[in-house]
Structure 1
Amino acid sequence: MPRIDAERFLKDLNDLRQIGKYKTGVHRPTYSPQDMESRRWLMERMAEIGLEPSIDGIGNVYGRHRGPGPHLLVGSHIESQNYAGWLDGALGVVAGLALARAGLPVDVAAFADEEGHFEGGFLGSRSIIGELSEEEIDRSRSRNDGTPLREALAAAGLAGKPRMQLEPGRHKGFFEMHIEQGTQLERSGLRLGVVTGIVAIWQWRIEIEGQQDHAGGTTMAERRDAGLTAVRLLAAIDREFPRVCGERSTWTAGRIILEPGAPSIIPGRADVLFQFRDVSMAVLERMEAALRALVQESNRNERCPATLTQIARATPALCDPAMMAALDQAAERHAPGLWQRMPSGAGHDAQYIAK
């Protein structure tokens, strides 16, 4: 049986960690100099192992196994969130290197912008399955500073390169090793999780219109405070969602902007970015119905009207039963009694490759 070189596996992880190092983590935003340095590093490691490395026009790095198949595709991403952890994504890519180094017939991929620094997100995995159009690339802007995606690609030296597509029939599956990004395993004293499915994330914008007024000269009875309406609506969501959600549902108001944002001015407008996640379509649809009903109720009771707009709607990705069974056996062999099946609460490239 092929054996993994654990020492080299850890060395590769720590070498990659030095690129864009920031305190105990890394800072490698998509297409930044640090990100592109990490992609060059990866291609060098692929070539050393005997894979055929390439980088395409969206920044995907791909190491093609030169021998006969059937092949397993292994990978994840190596860019990071801003000032973030060093194992997110990198673990899955370096795991692919370790499997290839052991002589197994694997292709290794590092997909671009899983972290969503640019509008649309998951640019690399969506591109490689044919779901990213040239028109979307033209429209996309950086969520950090508004830079057009086309400009970022040109600055990274990727302009004019063709975008690769997965070969139909080449791969028998896709494996993405990943950190949990949570505390369930650690809290339970477990070592491994076998993922049953990847949640879908449904994202919304809630816009609330009030009346901007002086904080001292406007009585409480006269006010149309968009900020307070937003707070009451979010509190109502937090009370109602436990009645309709699933066991592992989550919901988050990740950004709230009050305008004009001055301490002595009543907010005339509130802009809320809200999301919920689950692995079940039925649960997601119940949460959507509850959210719409709560916005309607707010509009009946409040003096500041709220508008609800959906800005992202994905489909949960369920994992292959045969792959899960194989991972169950491996988990029991390496960590007897110290593993569990569990859904992934974060989005991953695997949910697009699964299509």
Structure 2
Amino acid sequence: MALSTDRFLADLDALRRIGAYRSGVHRPTFGPEDMQTRHWLAAQLEQAGLEASIDGIGNVFGRHRGAGPHLLAGSHLETQNQAGWLDGVLGVVAALELARSGLPVDVCAYADEEAHWGDFIGSRSLVGALTEAEIDAARNRFTGEALRPKLEEIGLAGRSRPQLEEGRYKGALEMHIEQGTQLESAGLRIGVVTGIVGIRQFRIVVTGQQDHTGGTTMRERRDAGLTAVRLLGMVDAEMPRVAAARSVWTTGRIALEPNAPMIIPGRAEIVFSFRDLSVEVMDRMEACLRAVVQESNRRERCPAVLEEISRSAPALSDPAIVAAFEGAAESLCPGAWQAMPSGAIHDSQILARKLPVGMLFVPSIGGISHHWTEDTKREDLVLGMEVLHAAAQRFLAS
């Protein structure tokens, strides 16, 4: 069958109606609307001639029945709460259309990329990096509900969790919205992803002395909140000296205890993270953070303790896949594309542990994502599908 961008758009529109919220979608992982989309996809995969299944962690898989070499393509179906209609779903429907066009593609909707129940539990399961103990311990980050009973409730308990078949794939492709402003600001229509940034996340705990806001003099105070604010001010002043042009850093959480207007906070907890595509740059940023905490402890009355929470390594895109994307983009939209890193993380970062990977971006209007106003021009969706299809052909023939 030939590529049909009309069919591609129609499928995106169909999924947009499942869990519709304003102009976006609310489809949290393993909720009824999410499961409806998974069963919808499995039916579409069967109709396309693929062998469809839903595994024990919720991955929806469509296996091509013919000879290879094969590609793996896909993304995720669930959404953030009250969020956009294209984040993830775009890559799944694009992968489905690749398979319908006759290319030797296995399609996968990776479960819970949006981390309602854990970090990349679907793609991690496929690469053999999710244990049964981790499933036992997993809880919904909003409700505290345990994952194991939920899997039983939605009919997935007892199903196997197959891993990627060794030697089957030449590479893995994922199309996604940019979730930023770089393409739109430059008047460009396609982004060829050079790599997915690494992330390092830390907790900083500042310990002071809880006390009365009126009776305690300024000389006597050990205010954990003020120390935390001054520490973060130092971080923001020092990080630009060691960071790269596309480095980012974020204070995602500040919690004061007891967080009451008439009480001097006795404790402050900060969750701080930074991202870059270069391990060397991230090493410099971590050294900077540690030096700032050390300097804060020299100056301040309230000691701060730095604890690493997590780290993920950058994942560089496969050069041959990048070349195929660049060639296809230059052919279909000459001068209207650019190579760029992904500042957001995706399932492709997990798959890169086992497979050559590559990603393609289309512009996000206003850079908005994880919000119900998320959108992309339909002509850019169509162009992205055409570039993905042409690049898949190029890569398979290389």
TM over 0.5, yes or no? Answer: yes
Distance 1:283 1:33 in 2: 43
Tell me which residue corresponds to 2:196: 198
Distance 1:308 1:139 in 2: 25
Letter in 2 for 1:25: G
Greater relative contact order: 1 or 2 (C-alpha under 8 angstroms, separation 6 or more)? Answer: 2
Tell me which residue corresponds to 1:348: 346
Runs (4+) off by over 6 Å: none
Tell me which residue corresponds to 1:60: 59
Q: TM-score, normalised by structure 2?
A: 0.87
Worse overlay, 88-97 or 205-214:
205-214
Deviation at 1:333, TM superposition (A): 1.3
Alignment of 1:1-355 (within 5 A): 3-119=2-118, 121-355=119-353
Distance 1:4 1:221 in 2: 73
Distance 1:161 1:217 in 2: 63
Distance 1:149 1:50 in 2: 32
Distance 2:203 2:132 in 1: 26
Deviation at 1:69, TM superposition (A): 1.1
Distance 2:244 2:250 in 1: 15
Worse overlay, 318-327 or 148-157:
148-157
Cα deviations by residue, 1:86-131 (Å, 9 ceiling, x for unpaired): 1111111000111111111100000111111223x01011110001
Cα deviations by residue, 1:292-319 (Å, 9 ceiling, x for unpaired): 1111111111111111111111111001
SS in 2 for 1:178: strand
Cα deviations by residue, 1:143-174 (Å, 9 ceiling, x for unpaired): 21222221222222211111111101111100
| RMSD, aligned CA | 1.2
Distance 1:169 1:63 in 2: 17
Structure 2, unpaired ranges of 5+? 354-398
Distance 1:156 1:302 in 2: 53
Deviation at 1:274, TM superposition (A): 1.1
Letter in 1 for 2:175: M
SS in 2 for 1:234: helix
Distance 1:324 1:232 in 2: 43
SS in 2 for 1:176: strand
